[in-house]
Amino acid sequence: MMTVMKTLRFGIEIETVGLDRTRLIGAIRNVVGGAISANHDSYSVTDARGRAWRVVHDGSLSDSLNSGEIVSPILGYDDIELLQNIVRAVREAGAKADQSCGVHCHIDGGRFDVKNVVNLIKLMHKQERLIEHALGVSEQRLARYCKPIDAGFLRRIEARRPRTMQELSEAWYGRPNVTPTRYCSSRYRAVNLNSLFFRGSIELRLFNGSLHAGEIKAYVQLSLALAARALTSKAASSKRREFNPATAKYDFRVVLLNLGLIGDEFKTARLHLTKKLAGSAAWKGERRDRRERTATTPASPAPSEDVDDARAAA
């Protein structure tokens, strides 16, 4: 699955405040080089590989003047370090992320057939509450900009079992829609399939605004890992996972390991993606407490990776 994950193409949109668009694009140019061009409220700079990084206006941000949305070109896994350097550069230049900001990750939909898309929807629905808490998504964003998987859509795909993208599209919109538009209201979902039908990418919108390079990397790796699992699974269950706040950190860490985010390469991703959750990353809470209360039965050590992650999270 990791092989698939590292071959997927992606793009990212990072919303920022505190810096106007001309200074944002200037900070990006300091990393990628090239000449800046402008078109109305949009600025772009082309990197050494001929790819355009853009900064555009976003009316949803708290400061309409000193703000901008960074829109990456199509990237590959080996571009994550470059992306992190850009994030560091704009932060050092004065950009910030407040509660009005979000991060959206787009996965190239060219590798997805109907079964793969349905797998992703069911996988997200199954783990949705755990993911929402892990990412610290506010109630306001969940109610407006990244709503949960639509229950009606889920019922339609389970009842109709779509086999073509047209049938999947009809299940998504609840009607035939041969001309999807960019600003369709259905885009405000945690998993946005309007983007797939309109431009060919699956958009994940759950991520809070951030200019922390480690968090951005973790968001990208989680998005790619979810996509890779959807592509490599024969089927997926949509049965909702019960959410237990007391064991959430352990539970989500297990999810991340099952997605393939194992070992030192993904250690910081596991840290950032579990740091908002309660409990221990190394032990299921009740099991640990029971062993600690039993004086005659010393607790067995956690596997080495559990110990490493627990120390990193401390």
pLDDT in tens, 119-130: 999 999 999 999
Q: Is the pLDDT of residue 302 over 70?
A: no
Cα(163)–Cα(289) distance, integer angstroms: 48
Q: Sign of the CA dihedral 264, 254, 14, 122?
A: positive
**pLDDT tens digits for range 162-209:** 999 999 999 999 999 989 999 999 999 999 999 999 999 999 999 999
Start and end residues for every CATH 3.30.590 domain found in the chain: 2-213+221-232
- State mean pLDDT over 233-255: 91
Q: What is the pLDDT of residues 47-66, one digit of tens each?
A: 999 999 999 999 999 998 89
Q: Which residues contact 106 (CB under 8 A, 6 or more apart)?
A: 10, 11, 12, 13, 195, 201, 202, 203, 204
Q: What is the pLDDT of residues 84-105, one digit of tens each?
A: 999 999 999 999 999 999 999 9
- % of the chain surpassing 90 pLDDT: 82
Query: CA-CA distance, 265 to 135, in Å (whole number)?
Result: 20
The residue that leads in pLDDT, 314 or 275, is: 275
What integer pLDDT is reported at residue 313 of this predicted model? 35
* Mean pLDDT score of the chain: 90
Euclidean distance between CA atoms 8 and 5, whole angstroms = 6
Adjacent-strand bridge partners of 108: 201
Q: What is the Cα 71 distance to its own chain's centre? A: 15
Is a pLDDT exceeding 60 seen at residue 261?
Answer: yes
Least confident among 19-33, 194-208, 280-294: 280-294
pLDDT-derived band at 311, boundaries 50, 70, 90: very low
Confidence at residue 2, expressed as pLDDT on a 0 to 100 scale: 80
Check whether 290 has a pLDDT greater than 70: no
Asked if residue 45 lies in contact with residue 36, where contact means CB atoms within 8 angstroms, the answer is yes
CATH architecture, domain defined by 2-213+221-232: 2-Layer Sandwich (3.30)
pLDDT of residue 281: 85
The Cα-based distances of 105 to 72, 81, 178 in angstroms read 10, 16, 25
- The percent of residues above 70 in pLDDT, for the chain, comes to 90
pLDDT, tens only, 220-232? 999 999 999 999 9
What are the angstrom distances between the C-alpha of 256 and each of 7, 42, 249, 251, 262? 19, 37, 11, 9, 8
Higher per-residue confidence, 156 vs 304:
156
Q: What is the pLDDT of residue 308?
A: 42
